[in-house]
């Protein structure tokens, strides 16, 4: 995230530097935009044929997982640490170990996330940076070859 912020903010002498007062959470629009991103992600997953396999492994209804994802994104983007306040450290890889996460499921997850990012995040550079960072995170969740 810091690398992304360095690209976005320049000093007068044209040297990049992070701006700690501005987080991706604030840049995308705070709580409302973060909630919209989480909800759009799951809306796309539930309706896109390209994500059918991914959708099939999620418990229904999606209400609780939508809320948890919003809470996770809030902290991950630099906003309030809602997930950690309720559940402790996300330990994402450990939490995803019981589920078969293959490269194909990672790609389906990224398909949904990139569509949601396109709809919610207006700034192209920020959207690209978030996609890259989330792609790395999603790849880290892979625990099966196929």
**Predicted local confidence at residue 19, as pLDDT:** 52
Assigned fold of 29-140? Globin-like (1.10.490)
The four Cα atoms 45, 50, 56, 58 give a dihedral, to 10 degrees, of: -30
| Structure-token pair, residue 71 | 């809470």
**Predicted local confidence at residue 141, as pLDDT:** 96
Extract the residue ranges of the chain whose pLDDT is less than 70.
1-20
**Predicted local confidence at residue 146, as pLDDT:** 79
Q: Where are the domains of the chain?
A: 29-140
| Segment 34-46, tens digit of pLDDT | 999 999 999 999 9
**Predicted local confidence at residue 123, as pLDDT:** 96
Distance between CA 53 and CA 72 in Å, rounded? 23
Distance between CA 96 and CA 67 in Å, rounded? 17
């Amino acid at each position: 995230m810091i690398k992304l912020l360095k690209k976005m903010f320049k000093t007068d002498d044209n040297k990049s530097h992070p701006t700690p007062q501005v987080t991706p959470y604030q840049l995308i629009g705070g709580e409302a935009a973060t909630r919209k991103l989480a909800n759009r992600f799951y809306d796309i997953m539930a309706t896109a044929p390209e994500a059918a396999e991914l959708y099939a492994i999620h418990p229904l209804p999606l209400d609780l997982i939508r809320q948890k994802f919003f809470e996770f994104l809030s902290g991950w983007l630099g906003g309030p640490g809602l997930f950690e306040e309720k559940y402790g450290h996300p330990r994402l890889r450990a939490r995803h170990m019981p589920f078969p996460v293959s490269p194909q499921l990672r790609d389906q997850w990224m398909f949904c996330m990139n569509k949601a990012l396109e709809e919610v995040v207006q700034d192209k550079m920020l959207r690209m940076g978030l996609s890259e960072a989330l792609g790395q995170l999603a790849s880290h969740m892979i625990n099966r070859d196929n």
